């Protein structure tokens, strides 16, 4: 029997990492966002912002990393596993920024499916930018809309997580799984 794979997604600076960490503190297995690792690795290779310099290469690396996470989550012994972003986020971001991509990206999204998708909405009061997160709040709203559309287009019933303190967001997510 494979684990139930639950995606926590949302635009930049919506509290995903904080929610994932709080879920993990409750004893659940969580797979963390990989885009920062890829961005930092690209910097070591001399590319300041790989997504801006070569969005398709960046997206391919993200896609490969998320497929690996999916396979690890599927094989995990825990009954529920959480992932900070899903494979489909790659297409959402590419579509959002009008970047063409090969059909294989769409095929991968059809091949690997999740059990539930939780979407954290844009939240101006907690939005911040840093060296790896360069999107402003308006772009975060646009990305949110693209994520919603992409997951819906792949047949998912996306569950929007209310703007609440972290503990209450975690409770909302866990109660939605019961």
Q: Please check the confidence at residue 42 and state whether its pLDDT lies above 90.
A: no
> If pLDDT is split at 50, 70 and 90, which confidence band does 25 have?
very high
In the three-class reduction of DSSP (H, G, I as helix; E, B as strand; rest coil), residue 132 is classed as coil
Give the count of domains, the chain. Answer: 1
In this structure, are strands 80-84 and 116-120 parallel, antiparallel, or unpaired?
A: unpaired
> If pLDDT is split at 50, 70 and 90, which confidence band does 51 have?
low
Q: Please check the confidence at residue 52 and state whether its pLDDT lies above 70.
A: no
> If pLDDT is split at 50, 70 and 90, which confidence band does 78 have?
confident
Rounded Cα distance, 17 and 133, in Å = 13
Q: What are phi and psi of 115, to 5 degrees?
A: -90, -40
Instruction: Indicate if the alpha-carbon torsion angle 92, 18, 176, 86 is positive or negative.
Output: positive
Q: What is the CATH number of the domain that holds 169?
A: 3.40.50.300
Contacts of 45 (CB under 8 A, 6+ apart): none
Structural tokens at position 3: 């684990």
pLDDT at 165: 94
Q: Model pTM?
A: 0.89
Residue matched to tokens 């209310």: 162
Range of 121's domain? 4-177
Neighbours of 117 (CB within 10 A): 24
Q: Are 126 and 82 in contact (CB under 8 A)?
A: no
Q: Which of 99, 95, 97, 42 is nearest to 65 (CA)?
A: 42
Give the DSSP letter of residue 120. Answer: E
């Amino acid at each position: 029997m494979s684990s139930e794979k639950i995606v926590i997604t949302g635009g930049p600076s919506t509290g995903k990492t904080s929610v994932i960490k709080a879920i993990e503190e409750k004893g659940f297995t969580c797979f963390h966002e990989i885009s920062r690792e890829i961005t930092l690795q690209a910097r070591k290779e001399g590319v300041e912002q790989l997504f801006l310099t070569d969005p398709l290469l960046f997206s391919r690396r993200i896609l490969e990393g998320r497929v690996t996470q999916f396979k690890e989550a599927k094989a995990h012994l825990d009954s529920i596993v959480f992932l900070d972003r899903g494979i489909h986020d790659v297409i959402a971001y590419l579509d959002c920024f009008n970047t063409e991509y090969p059909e294989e990206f769409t095929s991968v999204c059809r091949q690997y499916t999740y059990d539930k998708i939780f979407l954290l909405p844009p939240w101006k009061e907690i939005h911040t930018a840093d060296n790896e997160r360069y999107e402003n709040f308006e772009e975060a709203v646009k990305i949110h809309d693209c994520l919603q559309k992409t997951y819906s287009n792949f047949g998912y019933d996306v569950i929007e997580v209310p703007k609440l303190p972290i503990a209450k967001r975690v409770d909302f997510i866990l109660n939605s799984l019961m």
